[in-house]
Amino acid sequence: MTCIPGKPVVDQAPPSAREMMIIAIGLTAVCLVAAMILGGLYFFTQPAKEHNLHMREEAMIRGLLGLTPQARIQEVRRYLKREGKDVQVIYLTGKKLAQLELDGKEVAALDVPNDVAIAGAAEIKDEWVKTQVKVSNPEHLKYAGRFFVGIEGTQPVGYVVEGVTLGFKTWIRFFMAIDSAFTIQGVEIIEHEEDPGLGAEIVQRYFKNQFAGRSFEDIEKISVTKDPLPKEWQLALEQLGDMPFRPWLEKHREMLPKNPNIYAITGSTISSTAVTVGIKTALGNFRKRMNIVGNYL
């Protein structure tokens, strides 16, 4: 025992087995109570959190596509089934569950029950798909992305594709709105962890709106430039959001060919390039998939 000057030396016996047991039981009880409280909070708050996220995404999609309040939004979920050398692509639309070979040849197509089609929770849809698609190991069936269809009356009027791209720090998740001609109507950054004041500027109108109005052919050729963003073009970009896409495009259409590339955020070329590459990849992949999945919408 260490002696401390000016303090009397006190002999203290170590805890007995009974005391150790009491301490262990007490700590276990505290942990159990804390776990029950946290579990209860999750049980009651998670549905509200999912509902709020669903409503936020719906509002974002409606804004990007300029949908009326009467328009419907249909989610299309994509899955990959891998068993040995056999690879299938599976789409869950509001009408069909389509199992396809990589070349688009149909393997099977099932009608989707209405309660699954209108379900807001992704877990309900994913669980139903697992019951319909037979695999030897659950790990062989993986969720692989989604997109949304905006429907006015009975006709699709636009699409919103969810994409991810690797930024400076971690993944950047975005929504990209396009019309039936594969022209981009707008981009929204949903989630990122880029540096404040630098890469985080990807959420600003002057950056993300540079993709709006570009055709598929424009996006194929587009690159990122470190040249300063022209003031006139920046002012035009800032207007999209206050103005709907179509009137904005008609007003500023002649400025697009004058600014054929994406102006990088000052001091954050990596984040600017990451978003640009993500948009290119997402648009190219979506165009290929629509030739197949369009028959099941």
Give me the helix-helix angle, 245-252 and 231-239, nearest 10°: 160
Q: 30-44, 122-136, 240-254, 258-272 — which is least confidently predicted?
A: 30-44
The b/e string for 140-156 (b: 16+ C-beta within 10 A; e otherwise) is ebeeebbbbbbbeeeee
pLDDT at 294: 85
pLDDT at 56: 83
- Measured from the Cβ of residue 4, the count of other Cβ atoms closer than 10 Å reads 8
Q: For the CA atoms of 130, 135, 138, 140, what is the dihedral angle to 10 degrees? A: -110
Q: 54-58, 72-76, 291-295 — which is least confidently predicted?
A: 54-58
pLDDT at 43: 64
Q: Are 277 and 285 in contact (CB under 8 A)?
A: no
In a domain, 281, yes or no: yes
3-state SS class at 137: coil
Query: Does the structure show a pLDDT above 80 at 51?
Result: no
In a domain, 217, yes or no: yes
Q: What percent of the chain has pLDDT over 90?
A: 68
In a domain, 54, yes or no: no
pTM assigned to the model: 0.81
In a domain, 59, yes or no: no
Domain that holds residue 250: 72-296
Q: 10-24, 36-50, 244-258 — which is least confidently predicted?
A: 36-50
> Average pLDDT, whole number, for the chain?
89
Q: 23-37, 90-104, 242-256, 283-297 — which is least confidently predicted?
A: 23-37
Q: Give per-residue pLDDT as tens, 205-259.
A: 999 999 999 999 999 999 999 999 999 999 999 999 999 999 999 999 999 999 9
Q: What percent of the chain has pLDDT over 70?
A: 91
Give me the mean pLDDT over the 60-88 stretch: 92
How many domains does the chain fold into? 1
For the ranges 15-24, 36-45, 85-94, the maximum mean pLDDT occurs at: 85-94
In a domain, 271, yes or no: yes
pLDDT at 39: 73
In a domain, 60, yes or no: no
The CA radius of gyration of the chain, in Å to the nearest whole number, is 27
pLDDT at 143: 95
pLDDT at 47: 57
Q: Give per-residue pLDDT as tens, 173-200.
A: 999 999 989 999 999 999 999 999 999 9
pLDDT at 45: 64
In a domain, 123, yes or no: yes
Residue 127's Cβ-side half-sphere holds a number of Cα atoms within 13 Å equal to 7
In a domain, 55, yes or no: no
